[in-house]
């Protein structure tokens, strides 16, 4: 079985990615399962730059193929913020709740029709010899005026999906993994990985 290292320390992302890619004939190894692994400084100006850097550094470190993502929430009336700073919007080492509280405070008084937003993910797959493949995914919604739901993570409790009448934290894990920004990007990555295998490239 082919192996690929998953370059994230986020437990929730690990679970989502492994679940969505479970039907591929590859063994996904979290980098945290190794005694030593690289810590990438996410200093890129875009999701693409951060995802690419993580995947490349991980592939080079382990001399194995690696997969990484960079994701975030883009709120239209905030000019795309928090964007690439989504995970640390309320400061370094902040909690999900801290980020949501800051976001809701910034949107206080903003009417519902102007609270449009999207979740965006860029997935990068890199090889030890320098090859890089990228895929992105988006899902559109609005930001609620209060948090709702106990499932999910990050901004899920405030990201409302009109078609379902629920936030990401209120829908089932299975539904989220079928329509989320990360799911859309990973479906594209699946095709890339399958093509690599079919072409019998070094994987």
Structure-block tokens of residue 127: 């090889």
C-alpha distances out from residue 62 to 2, 4, 142, Å: 14, 10, 40
For 56, residues 6+ apart whose C-beta sits below 8 A from its C-beta are 66, 124, 126, 130, 132
Which of 25, 36, 70, 76 is labelled catalytic? 70
Binding site per annotation, positions for substrate:
8-13, 71, 153-156, 176, 181-182
Q: What distance in Å separates the CA atoms of residue 131 and residue 40, rounded to the nearest whole number?
A: 18
Contacts of 182 (CB under 8 A, 6+ apart): 13, 16, 17, 20, 69, 71, 121, 123, 137
Report the distance separating Cα 114 and Cα 66, nearest Å: 39
Binding positions are: 8-13, 70-71, 153-156, 176, 181-182
Q: Are 182 and 121 in contact (CB under 8 A)?
A: yes
Q: Is 76 a catalytic residue?
A: no
Per the annotation, where are the binding residues for Mg(2+)?
A: 70
Residues 6+ apart with CB under 8 A from 89: 81, 82, 99, 102, 103
Instruction: Quickly tell me which residue has 């995970």 as its tokens.
Output: 87
Active site residues: 70
């Amino acid at each position: 079985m082919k192996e690929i290292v998953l370059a994230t320390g986020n437990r929730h992302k690990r679970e989502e990615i492994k679940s969505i890619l479970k039907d591929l004939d590859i063994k996904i190894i979290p980098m945290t399962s190794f005694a030593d692994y690289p810590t990438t400084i996410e200093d890129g100006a875009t999701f693409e730059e951060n995802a690419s850097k993580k995947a490349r550094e991980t592939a080079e470190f382990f001399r194995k193929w690696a997969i990484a993502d960079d994701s975030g929430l883009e709120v239209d009336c905030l000019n795309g913020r928090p964007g690439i700073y989504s995970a640390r919007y309320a400061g370094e080492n902040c909690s999900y709740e801290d980020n949501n509280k800051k976001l809701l405070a910034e949107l206080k008084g903003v009417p519902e029709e102007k609270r449009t937003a999207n979740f965006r993910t860029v997935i990068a797959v890199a090889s030890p010899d320098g090859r890089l493949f990228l895929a992105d995914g988006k899902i559109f919604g609005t930001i609620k005026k209060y948090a709702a739901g106990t499932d999910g993570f990050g901004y899920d409790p405030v990201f409302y999906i009109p078609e379902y009448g629920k936030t990401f934290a209120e829908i089932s894990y299975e539904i989220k993994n079928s329509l989320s920004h990360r799911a859309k990007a990973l479906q594209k990555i699946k095709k890339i990985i399958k093509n690599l295998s079919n072409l019998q490239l070094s994987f």
